[in-house]
Amino acid sequence: MKRLTVYVNQKKIILMSVNKLLNKAIFSSIGPSFSGLNNPSEDLEIASLQLSTHPKNLRAIIEKGNSLKLLQRFTDSLEAFKEASRLIPQKNSSEDLGFLSCAFFNIGNLESSIQKYSDYKKHYMNSIHYGLKSKSSLGVMFSSMACFELGLWYNQENNFTSSIHMHNRAAKIGILSNNPEGLYIASRAYFNIANYEGRLENYNRFETLMKKSIQYGISSKTISGIQTSIQGCQSLLSWYESKNNSVEKEKIFQQIHDHNIILSSTSDIHKCIFEGQKFESTDQIDKARISYRKAIDLSKSLDNIIAKELGTKAAVNLAQIIRKKSRSINLVEKAYTQIIELGESTFTPWALDQAAFAALSIGTFLDHRGQNKDATKYYKKAGKLAKQSTTNQGRRIISFAKSYESMRS
């Protein structure tokens, strides 16, 4: 069986057969399909293969833990994250410290589900420590999440001073992360603090903090963030009504209206994708194409990440149809370019992976045309997008791109 040597970070990490590595990713003159992405069972297999030759590969252990968690094998997942937590990196690289923060957060998260309060508090504190030390977006995000979880725990213990302190830390660190998840955590943290101040009748603090919650919920450009902003608006509305403040009431009404439009429009994208999938399943391909294109157009008209991610999903579905039904390389390439444009406009791992895979596909088109320099440019773009996603799928795409380059050289 033909074998490839796969390189990651300039080091030989694993030998695996082409069929094992690419499995469902079907390669031809019109590039790979998307059917092999987002499969936790397959991700687990690849992580295990990596660990068979490099058992202390921190990233692979994290990927193993994530895959097991998605497969609801929680005990095995916990053991994987504990194994990762014991691998304190000697060089203290930003990436490895971020992975440690992820490991400790997941240990705390999994142990909290079985009520091991004393243990999971310690693990959350470690997550905060390593995440901040990493200075990476991933690590800082997990630090923010750990602070938020501790804030909730202290609240359950009626330790309100510590709860407010951890919520404030969660908000500040979430803002520092400057990614959608971190900004959402900031929004949620300020929402909880504002409600606490309201119960103490500190209404000026209540108003200030609730406005911050609304601000960062919208800034996150996520559905959860927008929903938190609507909750914040409704809380302020009740207070302004009690004060007969008609000016502020009108402003809040308008904000709620605007936020609901975003949610309604996003719901329309979901509906179009669902219709497209239904038409596709009954082989009504032309109608499916129309539904997916409508979803894509709607997503482009909205300035929120979740809409762009849904647009990416519709673009992937449309590209798969075009790939199956058309032998025109130009049409397929155009469809994949659209995935890149939508996917890289988000900060979400899933959409970045789709964009990276599309870039990889275009590289294969150009390779078959003999346009080696242009192909290399797209392989590098695929690697860059995949690295940003920080997922196991991203790791696989990096491997694919490097494998293609090695086959050409």
pLDDT of residue 77: 92
Q: What is the pLDDT of residue 178?
A: 78
The model carries a pTM of: 0.72
Which tens digits make up the pLDDT trace of 55-75? 888 888 998 998 898 888 988
- CA atoms in the 13 A half-sphere facing the CB of 272: 26
Residues of the chain below pLDDT 70: 1-39, 89-91, 114-118, 327, 347, 390-392, 405-409
pLDDT score, position 253: 86
Model pLDDT, residue 210: 96
Question: Distance of CA 264 to CAs 53, 213, 223, 261, 313, Å?
Answer: 50, 21, 11, 5, 18
Give Dmax (Cα) for the chain: 78
- pLDDT score of 292: 94
pLDDT tens track for 233-285: 999 998 888 888 888 888 888 888 888 877 777 888 989 999 999 998 899 99
Confidence at residue 409, expressed as pLDDT on a 0 to 100 scale: 55
Question: What pLDDT is attached to residue 38?
Answer: 54
